[in-house]
Amino acid sequence: SQTWLVVPAAGQGRRMGADKPKQYLRLADQPILLHTLARLHDAFPDARLVLCLDDDDHWFAPQWVPFNDWQRVPGGCERMDSVLNALHAIEAQDDDIVLVHDVARPCITACDLHALYQAVATHPGGALLAMPVADTMKRADAQGLSARTEPRDGLWHALTPQGFRYALLRRALETARHQNTLVTDEASAVEALGERPQLVSGRRDNLKVTHPDDLALAAAIMTAQIDHTPA
């Protein structure tokens, strides 16, 4: 069966505060979007790519897409609307695997991508890359005073990619939209249906470029990853 890669890339990057959306900022001389697509292509050269892009996007260049088989779909108001546009645009089989990956995570590795894919293939509720919380977690009151310490046990950071069978993911996101619940990742929509996505412990350097100082961090991560690739 077919594997689909959905890459939401229709965000404005407001927290970055740059003169263009963050996916077009340069990292090691290439736009972030190009890094992300290249790494997805290295891991899944035969997958079909669906790229969610804003209609007003005048920075995107199709020559940055390494996939033979790809299509562009319009972004929506929220990330979940962009992903739903992608799911509605494709003719997928119910049990096709769909991986959703933020364009803003260019440090994703082939190793994590393959581990995630294996988990998606074997778990009916799908799977997501995640990272156990390392810091002590505080619950603040409205004044910003620490009210208590939350037990850290069993707490994870949700990363991407997140992957599911097409029919489940589509039903989950359509349900969230009908119920007007704003979900910030696919897994929360799937959990709301009573399914249990598998958490796959991923690398700690799968950073989402969000704030201006993340650019230097992402560049350092890429250098370190390349230095550690066996020759």
Residues that bind Mg ion in the complex, under the rule CB under 5 A: 11
Query: Is 163 in contact with 127 (CB distance < 8 Å)?
Result: yes
* 208 binds, options Mg ion, ligand CTP, none, Cβ within 5 to 8 A by partner type: ligand CTP
Is residue 205 a contact residue for ligand CTP (CB under 6 A)?
no
Shortest distance, position 173 Cβ to ligand CTP, whole Å:
13
Shortest distance, position 162 Cβ to ligand CTP, whole Å:
12
CB nearer ligand CTP, residue 55 or residue 141? 55
Shortest distance, position 195 Cβ to ligand CTP, whole Å:
22
Is residue 72 a contact residue for ligand CTP (CB under 6 A)?
no
* 12 binds, options Mg ion, ligand CTP, none, Cβ within 5 to 8 A by partner type: ligand CTP
Nearest residue to ligand CTP on Cβ basis: 11
Shortest distance, position 8 Cβ to ligand CTP, whole Å:
3
By CB under 6 A, the residues from 101 to 140 that bind ligand CTP are: 102-104
Q: Is the peptide bond before 161 cis (omega within 30 degrees of 0)?
A: yes
Shortest distance, position 191 Cβ to ligand CTP, whole Å:
19
Is residue 87 a contact residue for ligand CTP (CB under 6 A)?
no
Task: Write the CB contacts of 143 (distance below 8 Å, at least 6 apart in sequence).
Answer: none
Task: Return the residue of 177, 208, 217, 225 that touches ligand CTP, per CB under 6 A.
Answer: 208
Is residue 31 a contact residue for ligand CTP (CB under 6 A)?
no
Contact footprint for ligand CTP (CB under 6 A): 8-15, 21-23, 52, 75-79, 82, 102-104, 208, 210
